[in-house]
Amino acid sequence: MSKTVTPYQDEKATKKEQVADMFNNISKTYDFLNHFMSLGIDIIWRKKAINELKADKPQLILDVATGTGDFAFEALKILKPKKIIGVDISQGMLNIADQKIAKRHLSDKFEVKLGDSEKLPFADNGFDAVTVAYGVRNFENLLDGLTDIHRVLKPGGKAVVLEFSKPKAFPVKQLYNFYFNYVTPGIGKLFSKDARAYSYLPESVAAFPDGPAFTAMMAKAGFTNTKSRPLAFGICSIYTGVK
């Protein structure tokens, strides 16, 4: 990553600590703003990413940076695994996930725990699949995070990463940049008590090494058969790799 982009201009706190604070601050409005600002398209993108695992039929899945659990809930519906474990550094987000799990009576299928995405609290070779939706650009050290994801996967297991990317074609690029840099922070400021969180979003996407740069990093972390699949003219991308 060319430079480290942090949510707050706090030199005393690490990116990891700042990201945890940011998600704790916006946890109550996160789901609403996510769907509102993406016009609900984020749900379609999630389904496409989850479908990358359909043929593999994973039974034990780790969802890294699980947040409020939306990606994992969708994976439960589509893939019907025995269990999904979600890990996140924000207790505020996990509290919302726990409420949803209880409401849906899914505690036997989905559990969440507080943990560092770059130092996962799990043994080697334990999971059939690992998923990360909109979380890798928040890693403090991207290569460390990918290497640890590789470590906890079983041999032959697959990682699926869904992340924002940077569209290149006119006029999508121009519209995307305008929406992300001006509209998104405005909506975030209106509905969230943490306006900075929604200006951090375009900054973190701009600094993220998307496309071939990210698949190259996955390969460096030990993954084989790495692929990048752009969605919606490159607004978002699905990355896959096998251990």
pLDDT single digits (tens) 30-76:
888 777 777 778 889 999 999 999 999 999 999 999 999 999 999 99
Residue 189 pLDDT: 79
Q: Answer whether residue 8 is part of any domain.
A: no
Residue 70 pLDDT: 95
Q: Answer whether residue 7 is part of any domain.
A: no
Look up the CATH number of the domain holding residue 83. Answer: 3.40.50.150
Q: Answer whether residue 10 is part of any domain.
A: no
Q: Is 107 annotated as a binding residue?
A: no
Q: What is the span of the domain harbouring residue 91?
A: 17-242
For residues 89 and 84, give the distance between their C-alpha atoms in angstroms, rounded to a whole number: 17
Phi, psi of 42 (to 5 degrees): -60, -30
Q: Answer whether residue 3 is part of any domain.
A: no
Question: pLDDT below 70 — which residues of the chain?
Answer: 1-3
Q: Answer whether residue 81 is part of any domain.
A: yes
Q: Answer whether residue 89 is part of any domain.
A: yes
Q: Answer whether residue 61 is part of any domain.
A: yes
Q: Is 21 annotated as a binding residue?
A: no
Q: Is 68 annotated as a binding residue?
A: yes
Q: Is 116 annotated as a binding residue?
A: yes
Q: Answer whether residue 30 is part of any domain.
A: yes
Residue 196 pLDDT: 81
User: 162 forms bridges with which residues in the sheet?
Assistant: 133, 238
CA terminus-to-terminus distance, the chain: 23
Provide long-range contacts, Cβ within 8 A and 24+ apart, for 100-103: 100/68, 100/69, 100/73, 101/69
Domain count of the chain? 1
